[in-house]
Structure 1
Amino acid sequence: MRRVILFIAPFIAVISTANAQKGLSAGANAPTFSGVDQNGKKISLQTLLKEHQSVVLFFYRGQWCPYCNKHIKELQDSLQLLTAKGAYVIGVTPETSENISRTIKKTKAGFSIIQDKDDEIMKAYGVNFMMDEATFSKYKGYGIDLEANNGNTRHTLPVPATYIIDRSGKIRFVHFDPDYKKRASTGMLLTKL
């Protein structure tokens, strides 16, 4: 029992830190962003919205997060259903391109994933939070080295949020929950597309 409590403790600290963030609300204009995905494809929100009915944009913490991997697998399993509704799926993460490759290997993700190298996309969507030193040290003790995973010393993670952005650039749906275990289900996304 003690091991379970010790393992959960650092995640609880992150949840309380993330509570300060609110994310963007439905009806807001989606901040534009661009990047290069794991396949070298240039990604631009403006271009995607010209080519697709909507964009499903989600933020995940890293390949080390089992809840992130489960969510990505669920999105991949429903990718044909999502794209049939005119959606383009994009994952955004602070992890390095090498770790994005690990995520893809674990989840078989076939959609675009881009590295938010400078935390700009996370900040624009209001999902970024800084992990305190005590929690960072606890994570490291469990073998989760954010500095190695993200390639920087900022200790920034996203609240695992999901946004549906419609063709006009408005946010139509938001799932924002500081509890890292709660994610937008693909069934919910499909009803909102």
Structure 2
Amino acid sequence: MPSSATPRLQDQLDTITAQTRGLVQPERLAITDTAVQELLATGIESRIPSVGTQAPEFALPDAINGKTVRSSDLLAVGPLVVNFFRGRWDPYCMTELEAWQKLYPTVRERGALLVAISPQSQRQNDFTVQQHNLTFPILSDAGARLAEQFGITYAVPEPMQRHYRSILVNIPFINGDESWRLPLPATLVISQAGKILFSEAHADHRVRPDPMDVLGVL
């Protein structure tokens, strides 16, 4: 278990937000804030499968060796924590994955497994693993097609596309396609029977569920 001195994940994310607001021009901040509000207004958060429903199955390539990882094989071992993240360019996502890395021994102690899934190319996911010393599988969901089955895929609006380009975040290059499709940051826990035990997604990428709350269902 993490030390009692370890900051809660949301506190770490709030620090990133505060630092960003202190460094970035108000007009640029407004682009992101508007995009978040517009995405929230679509009701996308409510589309993620609810607790008690059957989770979609998946078979996706692993970042390190490209081998296909099947949810059925993972669930044969134990319950599965699934984290959808946008990409290694997002400091919120990387802070969340690093928090999960610290808790990965606890996940395994409870008989569960953990995978993280992004629309990044396998090469970009490999960079993510190496740069952040991740020891759980990182899987590539090309075109965010699996995320779409979970109800959490969206297309980045044009103002945000221009904003990302202006800060040299080349999402088409990172993901290997021109769709500009991303998943909401989301965390689910799936039982060995394939039923969802925990389900949370946020249109505001600056908000994430606390891993300790997720672990509480294992």
Relative to the length of structure 2, the TM-score reads 0.82
Deviation of 1:17 (Å): 4.2
- Aligned-residue RMSD, C-alpha: 1.6
Assess if the C-alpha contact under 8 Å between 2:143 and 2:181 holds in 1: no
Question: 1:123 aligns to what SS in structure 2?
Answer: helix
Matched, 1:43 2:83: no
Distance 1:102 1:10, change over 3 A: farther
Matched, 1:16 2:41: no
Assess if the C-alpha contact under 8 Å between 1:17 and 1:130 holds in 2: no
Assess if the C-alpha contact under 8 Å between 1:26 and 1:174 holds in 2: yes
Matched, 1:114 2:139: yes
Q: State the alpha-carbon separation in 1 of the partners of residues 25 and 108 from structure 2.
A: 39
Q: State the alpha-carbon separation in 1 of the partners of residues 189 and 123 from structure 2.
A: 27
Give the equivalent residue in structure 2 for 1:56: 81
Question: 1:144 aligns to what SS in structure 2?
Answer: coil
Relative to the length of structure 1, the TM-score reads 0.92
- 5+ unaligned residues in a row in structure 2: which ranges? 1-21
Q: State the alpha-carbon separation in 1 of the partners of residues 132 and 23 from structure 2.
A: 30
| Alignment of structure 1 residues 39-188 onto 2, 5 Å | 39-40=64-65, 41-52=67-78, 54-188=79-213
Q: State the alpha-carbon separation in 2 of the partners of residues 50 and 2 from structure 1.
A: 47
Deviation of 1:79 (Å): 0.3
Identity between Structure 1 and Structure 2 (%): 23
Deviation of 1:11 (Å): 2.7
Deviation of 1:18 (Å): 3.1
Question: 2:148 aligns to what SS in structure 1?
Answer: helix
Structure 1 residues 102-111 or 134-143, which shifts more? Answer: 102-111
Q: State the alpha-carbon separation in 2 of the partners of residues 7 and 98 from structure 1.
A: 30
